């Protein structure tokens, strides 16, 4: 299982939100490159960098993210506000892979076109959910698509990489939503990265036992409730 620290950016700062709410923001650093290098040195398998300003339609941190990646030598997946073809194509030139959510559920034909051009292994489908129902647009808009149905649809289209975030657990450190995670991870050919609610090393063990491909470490990492080194021993 891959150990993947999250670096969420807002106004160039490393922050964490609670359930995606920008009014519930904690700033952890003004030095995102320093944080990225710290997690790299600790043995992270990959970084998950999120442009929260782009997600919320209030700006971009793309130049900072580009500079971060130039100074690192580990895989990086970029997420947040990737909602047009040109931006995604450009980002794929320097990021290992991109995470697509809103566009995946609103403009499937464009996502398929991008997959043909870039390779399906470059695209991670973001399946953010509340109570098993997919949410999009920075978690502000609920769809009518059930999580498992949505995943199966993309698997039929040839995609295999998924980022599964339990929105109600994100930033809460209340533990992962194991019931839904286990269902998602049991789908054949689905590589699922679990995100949301990780609070301690026992949560990492449970995510591994659910057969997740990877786990995102966020608030628990920044609050020193868990370390990359101990998570790696479990993984």
- Active-site residue numbers? 8, 128
Structure tokens at 97: 């892979």
Phi then psi dihedrals of residue 174, to 5 deg: -100, 10
* Angle, in degrees to the nearest 10, between helices 147-156 and 178-185: 20
Q: What is the 3-class SS of 51-117, one letter each residue?
A: EHHHHCCCCCCHHHHHHHHHCCCCCEEEECCCCCHHHHHHHCCCCCEEEECHHHHHCHHHHHHHHHH
Measured torsion, CA atoms of residues 132, 107, 103, 97, in degrees rounded to the nearest 10: 110
């Amino acid at each position: 299982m891959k150990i993947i620290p999250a670096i969420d950016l807002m106004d160039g700062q490393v922050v964490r939100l609670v359930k995606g709410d920008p009014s519930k923001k904690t700033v952890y650093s003004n030095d995102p490159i320093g944080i990225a290098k710290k997690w790299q040195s600790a043995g992270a398998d990959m970084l998950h960098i999120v442009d929260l300003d782009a997600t919320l339609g209030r700006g971009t941190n793309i130049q900072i993210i580009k500079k971060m990646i130039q100074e690192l030598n580990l895989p990086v997946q970029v997420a947040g506000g990737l909602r047009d073809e040109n931006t995604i194509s450009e980002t794929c030139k320097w990021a290992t892979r991109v995470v697509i959510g809103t566009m995946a559920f609103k403009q499937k034909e464009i996502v398929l076109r991008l997959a043909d051009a870039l390779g399906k292994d470059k695209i991670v489908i973001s399946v953010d959910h509340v109570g098993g129902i997919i949410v999009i647009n920075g978690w502000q808009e609920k769809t009518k698509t059930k999580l498992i149905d949505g995943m199966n649809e993309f698997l039929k289209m040839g995609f295999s990489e998924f980022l599964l975030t339990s929105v109600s657990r994100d930033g809460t450190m209340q533990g992962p939503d194991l019931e839904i995670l286990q269902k998602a991870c049991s789908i054949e050919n689905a590589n699922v990265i679990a995100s949301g609610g990780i609070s301690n090393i026992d949560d990492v063990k449970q995510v591994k036992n659910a057969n997740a491909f990877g786990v995102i470490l966020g608030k628990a990492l920044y609050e020193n409730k868990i370390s990359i080194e101990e998570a790696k021993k479990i993984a």
